[in-house]
Amino acid sequence: MQIGFIGLGKMGGNMVRRLTKAGHQCHIYSDDPAERAALAAETGAVAADRLAALVAGMEVPRTLWLMVPAGKITQGVIDDLVPLLAPGDSVVDGGNSYFKDSVARAQVLAKKGLSFIDCGTSGGLYGLERGYSLMIGGDDAAVARNAPIFASLAPGIALAPRTPARENGPIAPGEEGWLHCGPPGSGHYVKMIHNGIEYGMMQAFAEGFALFASASADTVPEQYRYRLDLAAIAEVWRRGSVVSSWLLDLGADALAENPDLSAYSPRVADSGEGRWTVIAGVEQGVSVPVIAASLFERFSSHDDAAIDARMLSALRAKFGGHKGVPAANSSKG
């Protein structure tokens, strides 16, 4: 199948590589001439030097897949692209766009006879080999027409053992690694919640390993102090443990390479999906305390001035004369 790809970064480039290996004909565009030329030389994809040339070089009905940063950049590409398209063409947003934006974009494009497909994409840097988990929203006809693309990008059923209750039955939706979740917006909604859950899971691992690292501190009674090998704990948990997971695999790799994690910043970024998940919880009246706390912990990691903690110490000192806790590296006197 023929597909146009816009945005050839770490994920976009690897998606083109995976699709060309599966026999699809990719037409590609990015703002960086060297980037698109190199990928075209590597994969045999057809590179275009502008959006108009990309669209003109494809057969109708066309599918254009966007793999660009969410927000203004995505909207700008759509605004530039839509006038070049014809009724029956499809635009796929494979980035982490806000699901409400995707609903609005689908409504605008539908008036022009165009289909908008929102595709939540998980797999990161490993998607080229493992495949991408795809959560898709859009009208039935457009999703069905592009099913060969989704099937080639997805991991396939063999990546994970079948759920025991399904072992002897037909292949169920989602088992092949891609799922048509529902109408426009639903794909990005499911991916948003996926990322919110991811925030909570990562925070739980972070807190657990922080406890291991502090188990030898002087503040711990001597008989309860343990000098633990964090990398070894990660390894034993990877084998047979209830908390074994791909996230733990990645954490074990990081600890093996850099046991004290000093190569990594303590300031943790958030890319938006955690915030949107908490907002959805408020709007839907659903309690999401774990996801909310993990999001707020990321905010706290940015506060080098620690005004909140200093304010707490100030209030305790004012009302009760309480002293703060000395810094970990301060001398005892």
By residue range, what is the domain housing residue 150? Answer: 2-159+175-183
Q: Count other Cβ atoms within 10 Å, centred on residue 246.
A: 10
Active-site hit among 175, 176, 191, 273: 191
Active-site hit among 198, 318, 323, 332: 198
Taking every pair of Cα atoms in the chain, the longest distance, rounded to a whole number of angstroms, is 78
* Residue 143 and residue 288 in one domain: no
User: Exposure string (b/e) for 154-178, b if CB count within 10 Å is 16 or more?
Assistant: bbeeeeeeeeeeeeeeeeeeebbbb
CA 181 to chain centre: 17
Domain assignment present for residue 320? The answer is: no
* Residue 229 and residue 131 in one domain: no
* Predicted confidence (pLDDT) per residue in 65-100, tens digit: 999 999 999 999 999 999 999 999 999 999 999 999
* Residue 272 and residue 211 in one domain: yes
CATH classification at residue 240? 1.10.1040.10
Domain assignment present for residue 170? The answer is: no
| Residues 145/146/147/151 CA torsion (nearest 10 deg) | 160
* Predicted confidence (pLDDT) per residue in 125-147, tens digit: 889 999 999 999 999 999 999 99
* Residue 153 and residue 198 in one domain: no
Is residue 191 among the annotated active site residues? Answer: yes
Q: How far is the C-alpha of 185 from the C-alpha of 200, rounded, in Å? A: 23
Domain assignment present for residue 314? The answer is: no
The CB-based long-range contact list for 36-40 (8 Å cut-off, 24+ gap) reads 36/8, 39/8, 39/13
* Residue 30 and residue 148 in one domain: yes
CA 316 to chain centre: 41
Low-confidence ranges of the chain (pLDDT < 50): 332-333
- Tokens 């990546």 found at: 159
* Cross-sheet strand order for the sheet of 2-6: 46-47, 25-29, 2-6, 63-66, 90-93, 115-122, 133-137, 178-182
* Residue 237 and residue 179 in one domain: no
Domain assignment present for residue 319? The answer is: no
Taking the whole predicted model, whether its pTM rises above 0.75 is answered as: yes
* Residue 215 and residue 287 in one domain: yes
CA distances from 33 to 19, 40, 42 (A): 21, 11, 14
CATH classification at residue 115? 3.40.50.720
* Residue 107 and residue 153 in one domain: yes
Task: Supply the pLDDT for residue 213.
Answer: 95
* Residue 258 and residue 225 in one domain: yes
Domain assignment present for residue 167? The answer is: no
Is residue 129 among the annotated active site residues? Answer: no
Q: How far is the C-alpha of 253 from the C-alpha of 229, rounded, in Å? A: 14
CA 158 to chain centre: 22
Q: How far is the C-alpha of 117 from the C-alpha of 136, rounded, in Å? A: 7
* Residue 27 and residue 109 in one domain: yes
Domain assignment present for residue 312? The answer is: no
Q: How far is the C-alpha of 155 from the C-alpha of 127, rounded, in Å? A: 8
* Residue 111 and residue 234 in one domain: no
* Number of domains making up the chain: 2
Task: Supply the pLDDT for residue 330.
Answer: 54
* Residue 154 and residue 99 in one domain: yes
Would you give the DSSP letter of residue 166? G
Helices (H), the chain: 10-21, 33-43, 51-56, 72-81, 99-110, 127-130, 140-145, 147-153, 186-214, 230-237, 246-257, 273-284, 289-301, 307-320
Domain assignment present for residue 324? The answer is: no
